[in-house]
């Protein structure tokens, strides 16, 4: 795929992930930068990697920055440790990290709800040496149920994401079926039917999955989509993924939600990383 503008870009609603783009700016300045680049919506990993419960003044400052910029917060991660990095989630980790996740649930949901956010992402967490995977899975379901109920209280969906095995070898959800299986378990446990699959086309591509087949099978249970090209996790057009065609297929399968731009700007200012989008 070339780097030229997509002819069908207007068929999609794109938001920009402020945890991987515009990181050359302080966090409170990023929403306005996204707005200046033409975006109406943003998403975030949990911004305070070392604190699941930051000071209220920090929460307020970021919330005001989003509101002042006139953008919408469409997605937010629950606390997941330090990203990008080896942590890859906290909710299935016995001990302190799981407790930190639980402490974060109401804080994150309250922050998201105040900004009208409709999707909360809960990264599953790595396998831990010496701990039975079944024990981790039971803990994960318990915490995902807690998160799903918090999301429901603010009218949001809970997202469960598959990552890729090469970059996250200890993360157990490295396929679409694995992540959707957890979605089904959470919905069965809560009866709320608000758990959904986060379809990240970059991660699935790195895993070698048949992306058209994944789209056809799971579009109906998908609550959010994220994209980056592969290889390299750069902007569309920097790799070989037919992202325009894949998003067109998603649209044809009935997905009309937000598409998050979760790619690296590639050694240039983030504002220059959107040339593939028509203006």
pLDDT at 1 (0 to 100): 33
Q: Is 70 exposed, middle or buried (CB count within 10 Å of its CB: 0-12, 13-18, 19+)? A: exposed
Domain 12-272: give its CATH code: 3.20.20.150
198-205 mean pLDDT: 98
Mark residue 43 as left, alpha or beta (left: phi above 0; alpha: psi -120 to 50; beta: remaining): beta
Cα angle 245, 175, 72 (rounded to 5 degrees) comes to 60
- 142 catalytically annotated: no
pLDDT at 84 (0 to 100): 61
pLDDT at 8 (0 to 100): 80
Q: Is 152 exposed, middle or buried (CB count within 10 Å of its CB: 0-12, 13-18, 19+)? A: middle
Where are the chain's structural domains? 12-272
Evaluate if residue 269 carries a pLDDT over 50: yes
pLDDT at 270 (0 to 100): 98
Segment holding 76, helix H or strand E = strand 72-77
pLDDT at 86 (0 to 100): 58
Whole-number Å distance between alpha carbons of 210 and 25: 37
Average pLDDT, the chain: 94
- 99 catalytically annotated: no
Evaluate if residue 220 carries a pLDDT over 90: yes
Annotated active-site residue in 43, 97, 161, 209: 161
pLDDT at 87 (0 to 100): 59
End-to-end CA distance of the chain: 19
Q: Is 232 exposed, middle or buried (CB count within 10 Å of its CB: 0-12, 13-18, 19+)? A: middle
Whole-number Å distance between alpha carbons of 195 and 192: 8
137-158 mean pLDDT: 98
61-91 residue pLDDT tens: 999 999 999 999 999 999 998 766 655 789 9
The proportion of the chain whose per-residue pLDDT surpasses 70, expressed as a percent, equals 96
Annotated active-site residue in 43, 97, 209, 262: 262
pLDDT at 9 (0 to 100): 76
Evaluate if residue 154 carries a pLDDT over 50: yes
pLDDT band at 278 (very low <50, low <70, confident <90, very high): confident
Evaluate if residue 58 carries a pLDDT over 60: yes
pLDDT band at 2 (very low <50, low <70, confident <90, very high): very low
- 44 beta partners: 76
């Amino acid at each position: 795929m070339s780097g030229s503008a997509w002819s069908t870009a207007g068929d999609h609603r794109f938001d920009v992930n402020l945890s991987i783009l515009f990181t050359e700016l302080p966090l409170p300045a990023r929403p306005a930068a996204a707005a200046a680049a033409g975006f109406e919506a943003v998403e975030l990993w949990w911004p305070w990697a070392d604190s699941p419960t930051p000071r209220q003044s920090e929460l307020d400052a970021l919330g005001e920055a989003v509101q002042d910029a006139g953008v919408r917060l469409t997605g937010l991660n629950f606390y997941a440790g330090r990203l990008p990095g080896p942590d890859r989630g906290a909710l299935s980790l016995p001990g302190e990290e799981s407790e930190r996740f639980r402490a974060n649930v109401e804080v994150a949901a309250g922050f998201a709800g105040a900004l009208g956010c409709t999707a909360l992402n809960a990264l599953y967490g790595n396998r831990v040496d010496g701990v039975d995977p079944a024990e981790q899975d039971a803990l994960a379901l318990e915490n995902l149920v807690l998160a799903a109920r918090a999301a429901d209280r603010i009218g949001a969906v809970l997202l469960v994401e598959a990552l890729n095995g090469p970059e996250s070898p200890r993360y157990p959800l490295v396929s679409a079926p694995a992540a959707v299986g957890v979605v089904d378990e959470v919905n069965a446990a809560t009866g709320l039917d608000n758990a959904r699959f986060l379809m990240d086309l970059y991660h699935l591509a790195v895993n070698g999955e048949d992306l058209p087949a994944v789209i056809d099978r799971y579009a109906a249970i998908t609550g959010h989509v994220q994209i980056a090209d592969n290889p390299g996790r750069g902007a569309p057009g920097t790799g070989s993924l037919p992202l325009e065609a894949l998003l067109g297929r998603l649209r044809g399968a009935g997905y009309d939600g937000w598409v998050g731009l979760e790619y690296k700007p590639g050694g240039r200012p983030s504002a220059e990383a959107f040339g593939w989008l028509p203006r």
